[in-house]
Amino acid sequence: MSYCKQEGKDRIIFVTKEDHETPSNAELVADDPDDPYEEQGLILPSGEINWNCPCLGGMASGPCGSQFKEAFSCFHYSKEEVKGSECIEQFRGMQECMQKYPDLYPQEEDKGSSSQAESGSAAAADGSASLSENDSAAEASPGSPDSVSLADNQAAS
Amino acid sequence: MLTCRTVWRKLAPLGRASATACRQNVRRAGLNNARTPLCVPVAHMSTGPAGGGGDNLKYALLVGAAFAGGLTYAVLTLRGDQDRYLERMADISSRRQISTVKQPATQTLTEPPAAGAAETAAPPEPKPEAPPSPEEPSPPAEVAGAEAATSSEAAPAADAKPASPTLPSHAPYLLIGGGTASFAAARSIRARDPGAKVLIVTDEPNLPYMRPPLSKELWFSDDPSVTETLRFKQWNGKERSIYFQPASFYIDAEDLKSAENGGVAVLTNRKVVHMDVRGNKVKLDDDTEISYDKCLIATGGIPRNLQVIERAGEEVMKRTTLFRKIEDFKSLDKVSRSMQSITIIGGGFLGSELACALGRRSTETGLEVIQMFPEKGNMGKVLPEYLSNWTTEKVKKEGVKIISEALVKSVSYKDDKLEIKLKDGRLVKTDHIVAAVGLEPNVDLAKSAGLEVDSDFGGYRVNAELQARSNIWVAGDAACFYDIRLGRRRVEHHDHAVVSGRLAGENMTGASKPYWHQSMFWSDLGPDVGYEAIGIVDSSLPTVGVFAKATAKDTPKAATEESGTGIRSESETEDTASSAVAPAAPAPAVENKDEYGKGVIFYLRDKVVVGIILWNVFNRMPVARKIIKDGEEHADLNEVAKLFNIHED
């Protein structure tokens, strides 16, 4: 049984679980997925990679940013049967760069770079940035979780 | 200014009088030359003075002498300069000679001297093969000179480098201020502009770091060396530093120009004192000038102080902390271990968080923690009264002595104690004061740069795209910006610094996006009370709160454990689908007799929801953001509250 009280200008409503079981009739405005103002997910409406996605953490902006971008772009646009199989060189370059900065990219990196490729494939397959997967890979590098900005993953939601 | 005018008025008639006297004297044509003072103007006039005679001659002599003297001085100075220049050039070249003469000398000891070969080989070679392996035998002095000159070009001129590091004279992207907004912008710029060269100038000695842990997590650390490491354990068990990135992320300022892939360089302990917008350059406090293409001002602010404290004298000021930076955290930590009583003045976010943190510590050390503020309860300006009262009770449970409706009248230092006298007569004796009474945005550069300062909210006035002038953006605490949905405002929260910094970085690299993604904020008052909020959350607005009873699972600790993240707003970016998280330890059953366990509070302005607080309800911020973005009038807010599923985890 819900009840209500008023304290001056403030109204207080107490609700039980049952009260909230019926679906809401509040109307929300439909979202435009291509709204340029909105924060974009990993893949932009044009199909390009959004390097500024918070989900990438600092990967695209750090000292190895350009290598990361090359490797990931190659992977993203790869049309091979085994996606990214022609990108070995770029991934190796990225790995070499990351080894030079062990405190930015800690050295469980052999797992890190390959799992990133896997997560990248999952993301591409879903056609959206599955943030959790990206982040479980990105968590190997402590650079990423420091980004405390928000991204409503429009693509995923 | 006025004194000048009065002085001028007084002197003007004198001037006029002497001028007429001069004219009269000149016309008297040589009668009383000795008597008349020479009152000729010093400036050279294109036409000579009227009249003639002895005065004219004296005038001519004086001018001539001055001219000759000036000319002589100029010639001497220039010649001296040239001498000095030649001397310096000789000095530099001789230095090069010395270093490279040593090289061939050591290496050619073993080689058979072949003077003839040397003479023929050395001169035609513009450059030897490689400086470390010259084949020439020990050459005569002149050849050594030639070789030295050429090999010195090849060798890194380590000795020719000046003693002080060369600061870059130009930065394509210059970020003034080294805080959260600045770092977010740097990251955004680097992501969007490949190879971007970003220079951050900060007057702090630290690399960019995040502020929220300074008043929360760092205090709950078990590590005794936390003031040095500045690492904190997040609720999910993962440890991290407050620094956004370790030092290896950044490049040296000197290398910025030549860095192939660009990078982010940080100049610490340097303050920008002057900004020349027309010339697109800034001047630092050591007189270095740096020009820029795009500039971001993210200077944040300085903590406000109470006037009564500022007027109270040095002994009181010495025992007062204005909390904002790492050094403030370190000193307050030390104080909390050595003093017996600390009083926090201020009942807002910072004051309440510090009170809870110190209150927690008081259980171990017996420290007395007092918090006083003018409002009726904690967060009185943010939470509606019933919730503010409820929160105050929680803060008291953390071991804090609350003195509400307290206006400080005066502070004095007596008998080794600080005495705070309140307007209603109450007297509080304490050892140390922490003043958490607001932030004064830093707009020092407004004058020299000619930037507008907002009179309502303070800070630099910028448009919806965070732009102040053509190549200048402002982000973070110092930006008073136009929010398309909520109107002009200035926000002093961490997430806003991140969001606005990112946006500024995007706009600096060519995007033209307005502030649209609404930032959020959060606060924890102990492990049982936590809330996330978004939009305008002002207790003077009418509110509608929808509550359910809380269970043990509805605490901030449980929320972060479940989502596997450390900082609250991070859980927004990481889907909570990931279950690879430490299983939440079964929390002890929390008895919640209180009515306001968990719920949603809507803040209304003209019947439109402009702010929402999620009270002990987590990971629902996207829904809240959507409601504010829509800006619709909802007839029944209970229906809107259903969208949040407050009864579920």
Out of B187, B544, B621, name the one closest to residue A58 (CB): B187
The pLDDT value given to residue A149: 38
* Phi and psi torsions of B316, nearest 5°: -75, -45
Sign of torsion over alpha carbons B498, A65, A54, B461: positive
pTM over 0.90: no
Q: What is the mean pLDDT of chain B?
A: 81
The pLDDT value given to residue A111: 43
Residue B126: pLDDT band (50, 70, 90) is: very low
A74 lies in a domain? yes
- In total, the C-beta contacts within 8 angstroms joining chain A to chain B are 198
How far apart (Å, rounded) are the C-alpha atoms in residues B319 and B400?
20
User: Would you call A15 and B184 a contact, using CB atoms and an 8 Å cutoff?
Assistant: no
Q: Which residue of A has its CA nearest to B572?
A: A150
Residues of A in contact with B570 (CB under 8 A): 145, 147-148
How far apart (Å, rounded) are the C-alpha atoms in residues B378 and B350?
11
How far apart (Å, rounded) are the C-alpha atoms in residues A153 and A149?
12
Residue B561: pLDDT band (50, 70, 90) is: low
A109 lies in a domain? no
The pLDDT value given to residue B94: 65
* Phi and psi torsions of B440, nearest 5°: -100, 115
3-state secondary structure B47-84: CCCCCCCHHHHHHHHHHHHHHHHHHHHHHHHHHHHHHH
How far apart (Å, rounded) are the C-alpha atoms in residues B629 and B59?
81
Of B499, B445, B50, the closest CA to residue B277 belongs to B445
A46 lies in a domain? yes
User: Would you call A147 and B498 a contact, using CB atoms and an 8 Å cutoff?
Assistant: yes
User: Would you call A147 and B595 a contact, using CB atoms and an 8 Å cutoff?
Assistant: no
A80 lies in a domain? yes
Question: Is A128 at the interface with chain B, CB within 8 A?
Answer: no
How many Cα atoms sit within 13 Å of B71 on the Cβ side? 6
Max mean pLDDT range (A16-30, B47-61, B351-365): B351-365
Q: Are strands B543-548 and A10-14 parallel, antiparallel or unpaired?
A: parallel
- Sorted by sequence, the CB contacts under 8 Å of residue B596 that are 6+ apart come out as B386, B387, B390, B545, B547, B615
Q: Which residue of A has its CA nearest to B565?
A: A145
A143 lies in a domain? no
The pLDDT value given to residue A46: 84
Question: Is B233 at the interface with chain A, CB within 8 A?
Answer: no
Query: What is each CA distance from B360 to B363, B367, B398, B555, B564, in whole angstroms?
Result: 6, 10, 6, 17, 25
How distant is the Cα of A80 from the closest Cα of chain B, in angstroms?
27
Residue scoring higher pLDDT (B227 or B117): B227
A69 lies in a domain? yes
Q: How many CB atoms sit inside 10 A of residue A138's CB?
A: 24
Query: What is each CA distance from B535 to A38, B503, B603, B610, in whole angstroms?
Result: 16, 17, 9, 6
Out of A24, A31, A38, name the one closest to residue B517 (CB): A38
Q: Are strands B272-276 and B281-284 parallel, antiparallel or unpaired?
A: antiparallel
Quote the ipTM score: 0.73
Question: Is B641 at the interface with chain A, CB within 8 A?
Answer: yes
Domain housing A78: 42-99
Q: Which of residues 234-293 of B touch A (CB under 8 A)?
A: 238, 240, 244-246, 248-249, 251, 261, 263-264
- Rounded to an integer, the average pLDDT of B305-311 is 94
Question: Is B545 at the interface with chain A, CB within 8 A?
Answer: yes
Sign of torsion over alpha carbons B499, B492, B397, B378: negative
* Phi and psi torsions of B637, nearest 5°: -75, -15
Residue B130: pLDDT band (50, 70, 90) is: very low
Residue B213 CB burial class (10 angstroms; 0-12, 13-18, ≥19): buried
Q: Are strands B231-233 and B197-201 parallel, antiparallel or unpaired?
A: unpaired
pLDDT per residue as tens digits for the range A59-96: 888 888 888 999 999 998 888 888 888 889 999 999 99
Q: Are strands B197-201 and B263-267 parallel, antiparallel or unpaired?
A: parallel
How distant is the Cα of B246 from the closest Cα of chain A, in angstroms?
7
A81 lies in a domain? yes
Indicate if the pLDDT at residue B323 is higher than 70.
Answer: yes
Indicate if the pLDDT at residue A134 is higher than 70.
Answer: no
Out of A26, A55, A66, name the one closest to residue B643 (CB): A26
- Sorted by sequence, the CB contacts under 8 Å of residue A9 that are 6+ apart come out as B542, B543
Residues of B in contact with A133 (CB under 8 A): 578
Tell me the CATH number at A79.
1.10.287.2900
A55 lies in a domain? yes
DSSP class of B457: T
* Phi and psi torsions of A52, nearest 5°: -90, 10
Q: Residues B402, B396: contact at Cβ < 8 Å? A: yes
Q: Residues A90, A71: contact at Cβ < 8 Å? A: yes
User: Would you call A28 and B506 a contact, using CB atoms and an 8 Å cutoff?
Assistant: no
How distant is the Cα of A120 from the closest Cα of chain B, in angstroms?
16
Question: Is A14 at the interface with chain B, CB within 8 A?
Answer: yes
The pLDDT value given to residue B22: 55
Indicate if the pLDDT at residue B74 is higher than 60.
Answer: yes
Question: Is B210 at the interface with chain A, CB within 8 A?
Answer: yes
The pLDDT value given to residue B43: 52
Q: How far apart are the first and last CA of chain A?
A: 33
Indicate if the pLDDT at residue B157 is higher than 50.
Answer: no
Domain count for chain A, please give it. 1
Indicate if the pLDDT at residue B621 is higher than 90.
Answer: yes
Strands (E), B549-622: 598-605, 608-615
Give me the percent of chain B exceeding a pLDDT of 90. 59
The pLDDT value given to residue B614: 96
The pLDDT value given to residue B566: 52
